[in-house]
Each structure stands twice: as C-alpha cells, then as structure tokens.
Structure 1
Amino acid sequence: MNLTKWTSQERGRASQLARMLSVSSTTVANWISGKKPIPPERCPAIERATVRAVTCEELRPDVDWEYLRGTAAIDQAKSKSGADIFGAPPTGHLPEVSDAA
C-alpha cells in the first residue's frame, strides 16, 4: 500500500503520522503529494508507524532495502554474540592454532 492510500483511509492519519515522526503536517502533505521525496532515513519510522502497512520498499523503491535490512540483521547478530568488529571473542583471546596437519 502506498502512503497516499494509507493516509486517506482514515481522517487525521496524515496529522497523526506527522506527530509520530516529529515533522510538520506540511512535510507529510508534501510527501503524500509527491512534491518532496521522502528521505530514506524516514522510511523505517513510517513503516513502524503504519505497522508495516506501508513499507520502505514502497516508499523508496530506488533504495536497496534488501541489502540494508540484511546488513542490519548481521550487525545485530554480531552485537548479540559479543564479537568485536574484528570477530574476536570478547575476552580478546584468539583460539590456539596447531601446526599439525
């Protein structure tokens, strides 16, 4: 679903979205009318605010959201595992390597 359709389904949705995003109603109106493009960094917040009724892919099909979502998932998995940016265990100790083949 696109943002225009989503906001037209219920009176006051555009104003509500503007408040949720801390932007002016004029800004949202400009996005809806196509006068101004939606900044890519706003798309995830719009997707959350619409409970995925309007997705980032629909808002900005020119952005490679599949790649960005994939890298975000990788970053999240790394932070949960405790690995640092180089993949070393949090203790800083590297596993011992044997010369035996």
Structure 2
Amino acid sequence: MRILFTICDIYLTRLVLTDRSRYVILWGMNAIDIAVKEFGSVNALAASLGVRQSAISNWRARGRVPAERCIVIERVTNGAVSRYQLRPDIFGTPPTNHRQEVSDAA
C-alpha cells in the first residue's frame, strides 16, 4: 500500500500525516524531499521526471521547484506531493477535493 502524505507547516517543523492515522515529525523536510523519499532516491525521481539528478539537487538547494514541473511531480507521486505543497506562492491553497481529482486523473 502506498503511503499518502499531507503536509502542514507547524512552526519550524513539518508535520506529516501518514496513512491518515499516524503522525511523524520530519525536521527540515520540504515537499521535494518528500517526493525524493517517495521514489527512494534523487536518481529515481529524476528518471521519472525526465530530468538530470543535478536539476533536482538544484531545486532542493534553492528550495524552489519550477512551476512547470510541479504538476508533473504531483502526477508521478500519484498526489502524494501536490503542486500546492511545492509552490504555494503560485498555486495557492489546495481545494478541498484535490486528492480525489488527482486520483481520478490517474
């Protein structure tokens, strides 16, 4: 069973809800880190996105994913990491039925 992630910022930590029942504190993890964790490695995520590993490393270092890659990441992670988590400055807050929309599209 695939673990679904929902991220909420709480002060300096990130609170992650896994399987909708357990809470895990992940210090300093951002949405791109969670996407990497979902795939197991930077190389695996890069291969699924069709980019080089260095591109993902640059996104992590800058703390920003290009907007055009956010929707692709959302699709390849099957909604585990959303465009809203990756770039809230562009996409804003997620609609309440967003998880269902991603599942239906897949």
Q: Among 22, 28, 31, which residue is 2:59 paired with?
A: 31
Query: Structure 1 unaligned runs (5+)?
Result: 67-101
1:5 and 2:34 correspond: yes
Larger helix share, 1 or 2: 1
Aligned to 1:88: none
Larger radius of gyration: 1
Mapped pair 1:61 → 2:88: yes
Query: Over the residues paired in the alignment, what is the CA RMSD in angstroms?
Result: 2.1
Pair 36,4 (structure 1): closer, same or farther in 2 beyond 3 Å: closer
Moved runs in structure 1, 4+ residues, more than 4 A?
none
Partners in 2 of 1:15 and 1:41 — Cα distance?
Answer: 19
Equivalences, count: 64
Structure 2 residue runs without a partner (length 5+): 1-6, 8-30, 94-106
Name the counterpart of 2:101: none
Residues 15-64 of structure 1, C-alpha deviations (whole Å, 9 max, x = no match): 1111121111011112123x262111111100011110000000000113
TM-score (norm 2): 0.51
Q: For residues 56-92 of structure 1, give each alpha carbon's deviation from its aligned partner in whole angstroms, at most 9, with x where no partner exists.
A: 00000011357xxxxxxxxxxxxxxxxxxxxxxxxxx
Percent sequence identity over matched residues?
Answer: 31
Match of 2:70 in 1: 43
Larger strand fraction of residues: 2
